[in-house]
Amino acid sequence: MTSEDQRWRDPHADGTGTRTDTGPTRADRARSVGRGIGTGAKVTARGMAATGRVTGKVGRAVGRNARRAAGAQGAEQSGLNRLIYLHFFNTAGDAAVAISLAGSLFFQVPSGEARGQVALFLGLTMLPFAIVAPLIGPFLDKFSHGRRWAIGATQAVRAFLCWALAGGISGGTSPWLFAAALGVLVSSKAYGVTRAAAVPRLLPEGFTLVKANGRVSVSGLVGVSVSAPLAGLASLAGPEWSLRYAFLLFAVATVCAIRLPEAVDSSAGEGALAFRDETDDGRPGRRPRTRIPPAVAFALRANCGPRFLSGFLLMFMAFLLRENPPESSLSAELLIGVVVGGAGAGNAVGVALAAMLKKINPSVTVVLVLLLDAAAALLAALFYGVLFLALLGLVAGMAQTLAKFCLDSTIQRDIPERVQASAFARSDTTLQLAWVVGGFVGIAMPLEPARLGLSVAFTVLAAWTVFVLVNRVQQRPARRTPA
């Protein structure tokens, strides 16, 4: 007989007809445990409910403040806030795609094979863009009534490609995956061109282009900051989940693009910007053409340097840090994260410094950031290490952002309002071309020795700086000549 059974004596065993209870029963203990579990569950539920209420209140408060900031100073009435929302989801989706592909597609195959495939599909996808880029500006000038759908198409294409990538990225390294990944990149560049032409059409009363573009850029930084941790968590379950997350973001961005105000499609009273001497032929319906001012041409040329470096670093560093990393205990993925993180921090610094544009000369600033880019590339080539690579990323991000704000300021100052939409479309197309050239050079550079590629980047930037300054000097006498 067990000890448990001995606690109970048969009521008829002692002849008294009574039962002797020597302790709690199993049922009593079960009920006690059940009550304890129930109490714990209730406490946990109350705690979770309270946490949910606090999180919900904080989320709603953040959402209200974000909507209030996006629609402040007439941005809600003009529709600029809708473009801000669109850019938030666009950059959030781009961040999710970058995180998905950084640790999966480009690290699943040997570097030499991956470089060959990237170079092939970069040529197949970006080369046609480079060829037709000079035609994009005039095309948008002529067929400007479908800009909302053009912007929406760049988002919808990326949503489709992200869904396709999510379905195949875990099954191998098919060359078509590289094609889809670079297709996302091409669509992102096309979005930049179409968005640039939309901003001048959504300016609130008394708003400057620099201020509007600054607000849009800030929304992009917020989008990256919010989306990157979420995409990182999703990628822990597999890169396909962060790509599905990107699909949802681009799907929302597609809806945001279609819901942009009708003013985005309106070109009433606008003219077109000409990069070369062009005369109106008097044909009915042809918009008047304005010659690009020398100051705008100078700022645009200077901006090509930082854009070149941005494309170069993206393609070159992705393979250099994998095959020939500097002496460090960090993995290749973390090293790439350091450089990319530095570029992101540089973008934030550039946005902050743009607030000082009222106190500085944009034509001087674009030259200074071009020189800073060249100096950072030189330091990285001479002292190849984690610190100087992070500094290069920081300077490259800051220079690209600050130079673009200087270009915006120059366009606002020197180009008539009726031509500004065309100016933004054509100038942004030129900058995308500079990025493409930098990407091709980055792919073509050998990875050994590591300093060679960085030295080439410095040489190109230094030569481009001389070219920009020489052209500036040559234009000054012509500008003083009376008409």
Q: Give per-residue pLDDT as tens, 141-176.
A: 554 556 788 888 889 989 998 888 887 776 555 666
| Residue 315 to residues 209, 267, 307, Cα–Cα distance (Å) | 31, 37, 13
pTM above 0.75, yes or no: no
Q: What is the pLDDT of residue 391?
A: 93
What letter represents residue 116's amino acid?
A: G
pLDDT of amino acid 242? 86
Q: Provide the CATH number for the domain around residue 112.
A: 1.20.1250.20
Question: Residue 449: is the preceding peptide bond cis (ω within 30°)?
Answer: yes
Is 89 part of a structural domain of the chain?
A: yes
Is 26 domain-assigned? no
**In the prediction, which pLDDT does 379 show?**
94
Residues 236 and 349 in one domain: no
Q: Worst-scoring range by mean pLDDT, 49-53, 208-212, 334-338, 425-429?
A: 49-53
Exposure b/e, 186-214, CB count within 10 A at least 16 = b = bbbbbbbbbbbbbbbbbbbeebebbbbbb
343 and 244 within one domain: no
Q: Average the pLDDT over 291-303 and give the result.
A: 88
Task: Give one DSSP letter per residue of 137-194, joined into a string.
Answer: HHHHHHS-TTHHHHHHHHHHHHHHHHHHHHHHTTS---HHHHHHHHHHHHHHHHHHHH
- Residue 70 falls within a domain, yes or no? no
Distance CA 219, CA 216 (A): 5
| Same domain (yes/no): 116, 256 | yes
For residue 149, what are the domain limits?
75-266
Please state, rounded to an integer, the average pLDDT across all residues of the chain.
74
Considering the domain architecture, whether residues 256 and 151 belong to the same structural domain is answered as yes
Neighbours of 472 (CB within 10 A): 17
**Using an 8 Å Cβ cutoff, are 170 and 239 in contact?**
yes
Which residues does 354 contact at the CB level (< 8 Å), separation at least 6?
A: 210, 214, 401, 402, 405
What is the domain count for the chain? 2
Distances (CA, A) of 318 to 224, 325, 345, 470: 20, 10, 18, 34
pLDDT of residue 238: 79
**Distance, C-alpha 108 to centroid of its chain:** 24
428 lies in some domain: yes
Tokens (6 digits) for 203: 């300016």
Q: Is residue 452 part of a domain?
A: yes
Q: Are 318 and 453 contained in the same domain? A: yes
Beta strands in 18-149 (DSSP E): none
Average pLDDT over residues 20-36: 59
List Cα–Cα distances, 128 to 121, 122, 293, in angstroms.
Answer: 11, 10, 29
